[in-house]
Amino acid sequence: MKHYIGVDGGGSKTAVLVIDENQHPLGRGLAGASNHLRVGIETATRNIERAVNIALVEAGIAIRNVDYAYCGIAGADHPAHHQRVVDALRIFFPGGNFIVDTDARIALTGAVGFGSGIVVISGTGSVAFGRNENGEEARSGGWGPTIGDEGSGYAIARDGLSAIVRAHDGRGRKTKMTEMLCYDYDMCSPEDLPRFVYATTTHADDIARYGKLVIQAASQGDEVAKEILDRAGRELGECILAVARRLSLTKSEFPVAYVGGAFNAGELLLGPMKNILAREAPGATLIQPTHTPVEGAAMMAIRAAENPRPSRSGNR
C-alpha cells in the first residue's frame, strides 16, 4: 500500500493528513503555526514535524513508508522564502519526496478539485487564488498584515479594536464591542489595549482572534461592527474579481469557494461579497469547499508522485 501526506501550514496552526492511494484517511495531526515569516523558520519546521509525527503515529507507519508529501505552507510562495522552507524540511524528508507550495493552491484544490474556480481565504490573512480551464492560475492579495490582508480575520479584528479606542476618545460612535471587550476578554478599559497589541509576544494571529468580537457584535445589530464586516466583504469581493479578470472568467460560470474562520460571520461577510461579484462576474457562485485544504494537499501529493513539478519540489 502506498502512503501520502498532505500538510496545511498556516499562520495559526498546522494540519496534516496521511492517506492511502485510494484517498482513505489513515492519520491526522495538528500543531502550532508554520508560517516562518511570523514564527521563525525553526518554530515553523518544528511544528510541521510535530504535526506530521502525530499523523504518522495515528496511521501506524514511519516516515520512510511515505511515498510523497505535499506541503502547502503560508509565506512560502516567494522564491527566497520557498527555498528556506525546502532546505529546512529536507532533513525531515531526506528522500526529497516532497513539495513545498503556497497554502492557497492546496485550498483551491481542496475547495473545487483540479478544475476551474477560485478560492478566497480569510483566516489570519487573506488571499484569493484561482485556476481556469486552461490550467492558468492567478492570485490576488496575500501581502501580509502590514501592507495587505484586507478582509482578513486580522483586518476585521484590527478595525474592531480601532473602533473601540475611537469611541473611547470620542472620535467615533459608541459600539457594543467596548462592553464585550470587558466581559469576554477582561479588558474593561480600552487603555489596556496598547499593552496587549504592542507587546513583543503579540503576533497577527493573536490579534485576529478578536475578530470574533466584531462578528458577535454585528450579529447583535451593532452598526459599527456591521460596517466593518461590510467593508471586509467588499474587499474580499474585489480580490476575487481581480483573479477572475486575470483568468478571463468574468463572463463564465465558475465556483468561488470560501475558506477561513472569518466566514463564521455568514451573510454579514458573504452578502457584500456577493454584491461585488454580481457587478462584474454574475456567473460566480459562492460555495462551501468540497474538501478542506489539508485534504487538497493530500490529493496533490498523489498527483505529484505521478508527475512531480520540479519548480516546487524538494527533490532538486
Buried b (16+ CB within 10 A) or exposed e, 239-264: bbbbbbebbebbeeebbbbbbbbbbe
Q: 153 phi and psi, to 5 degrees?
A: -60, -35
Residue 211 lies in a domain: yes
pLDDT band at residue 309 using 50, 70 and 90 as cut-offs: low
Same domain? For 207 and 282 the reply is: yes
Confidence of residue 95 (pLDDT cuts 50, 70, 90): confident
- Residue 152, pLDDT > 90, answer yes
Whole-model pTM: value is 0.85
User: In 122-280, where does DSSP find H-type helix?
Assistant: 144-147, 153-169, 176-185, 193-197, 204-208, 211-219, 223-246, 267-280
Q: What is the mean pLDDT of residues 263-291?
A: 95
One domain for residues 33 and 85: yes
pLDDT for residue 316: 33
> Range of 260's domain?
114-289
- 70 versus 79: the higher-pLDDT residue is 70
* pLDDT of 129: 95
Give the mean pLDDT of 139-148: 88
Measured distance CA(270)–CA(36) in Å, rounded: 30
| Residue 312 domain-assigned (yes or no) | no
Contact 286, 148 (CB under 8 A): no
CA distance 6 to 71: 6
Same domain flag for 138 and 275 = yes
Dihedrals φ, ψ of 240, to 5°?
-65, -45
306 close to 275: Cβ distance less than 8 angstroms = no
CA 121/CA 108 separation, integer angstroms: 9
Per-residue pLDDT at 315 exceeds 70: no
Query: Is 15 inside a domain boundary?
Result: yes
Q: Is residue 283 part of a domain?
A: yes
Mean model confidence pLDDT for the chain: 90
86 shares a domain with 32: yes
pLDDT at 116 (0 to 100): 94
The domain tally of the chain equals 2
- 85 shares its domain with 206: no
Please report the pLDDT score of residue 313 as a whole number. 46
